[in-house]
Amino acid sequence: GAGVSQTPSNKVTEKGKYVELRCDPISGHTALYWYRQSLGQGPEFLIYFQGTGAADDSGLPNDRFFAVRPEGSVSTLKIQRTERGDSAVYLCASRLGDRSYSEQFFGPGTRLTVL
Amino acid sequence: SQELEQSPQSLIVQEGKNLTINCTSSKTLYGLYWYKQKYGEGLIFLMMLQKGGEEKSHEKITAKLDEKKQQSSLHITASQPSHAGIYLCGALDQTGANNLFFGTGTRLTVIP
């Protein structure tokens, strides 16, 4: 079956621009996560959705970052006024159900480069 | 928040050798996950440990969680080039937490 997919795989933008990153979770997975991974680091949590609502957005670094999941499936991470420090790999993961111990399945990530 | 320390940061071994990667926390781990990552790819789930003293194996990889649930080890027997990659431990820091906190990873190179 299809895994978690993310588009685009690579995104290069200029400082100050707006970007959108898309995540298609595994069909039927109600939980969706966004993480950010900087070079040489482990992934850092950004936001968690259970269904359509953001159950936990405590990891978003500031108000330039926003994410939506309007129909409880596809999610879009939106970054306004991008800064060079936003350059990283943005990973999406999905999980079946609301049991926190169950496995999170990760997508291949979107590599964002802000020039 | 949870902090996970992984050691070593990088490891180079000859094919066929055994190796161990460690993941240590200052707090009790309520769920410990091991993932493997290759460049340009997402994280591949290996194993999850939940109970103190638990041990799980899959093919040539064995993961253990100590009795105090503050340290986990990942052991690879008779390493192969296909084992190369970055190994990440992730943990839930409290019961009911939904997101994972990750260590910085261990980069494994296996020389044929």
CB atoms within 10 A of CB A58: 11
Strand, helix or coil for residue A85: helix
Q: What is the CATH number of the domain that holds A62?
A: 2.60.40.10
Interface contact B35-A106, CB threshold 8 A: yes
CB atoms within 10 A of CB A74: 14
Q: How many domains is chain A built from? A: 1
Q: Round to whole Å and give the CA distance between A40 and A76.
A: 25
User: Which of A48, A101, A108 minimises the CB distance to B99?
Assistant: A48
Strand, helix or coil for residue A96: coil
Least Cα distance to A19 among A79, A81, A100, A60 occurs for A79
Q: Round to whole Å and give the CA distance between B34 and A55.
A: 25
- Measured between beta carbons, which residues in chain A are less than 8 angstroms from residue B48? 101, 103
Asked whether residue A101 is domain-assigned, the answer is no
Dump the DSSP string for A65-105.
EEEE-TTSS-EEEEE-S--GGG-EEEEEEEESSS-TTSPPE
Asked whether residue A114 is domain-assigned, the answer is no
Residue B3 identity: E
User: Nearest residue on chain B to A102, judged by CA atoms?
Assistant: B48
Strand, helix or coil for residue A20: strand
Interface contact A91-B4, CB threshold 8 A: no
- Please state the domain extents for chain B: 4-111
At residue A1, does pLDDT exceed 70? Answer: no
Q: Round to whole Å and give the CA distance between A35 and A95.
A: 14
The answer, yes or no, to whether the previous bond of A61 is cis (omega within 30 of 0) is: no
Strands B106-111 and B10-14, by their bridges, are: parallel
Asked whether residue A8 is domain-assigned, the answer is no
Least Cα distance to A2 among A114, A111, A108 occurs for A108
Query: pLDDT digits over B50-100, tens only?
Result: 889 999 999 999 999 998 889 999 999 999 999 999 999 999 867 666 788
For residue A26, give its domain range: 17-96
Band (pLDDT 50/70/90 cuts) for residue A51 is: confident
Band (pLDDT 50/70/90 cuts) for residue A72 is: confident
Asked whether residue A61 is domain-assigned, the answer is yes
Asked whether residue A92 is domain-assigned, the answer is yes
Kindly state which CATH superfamily the domain B4-111 is placed in.
Answer: Immunoglobulins (2.60.40.10)
- Measured between beta carbons, which residues in chain B are less than 8 angstroms from residue A45? 99-101
Mean pLDDT of chain A: 92
Interface contact B33-A103, CB threshold 8 A: yes
Looking up tokens 């194993």 gives B47
Asked whether residue A32 is domain-assigned, the answer is yes
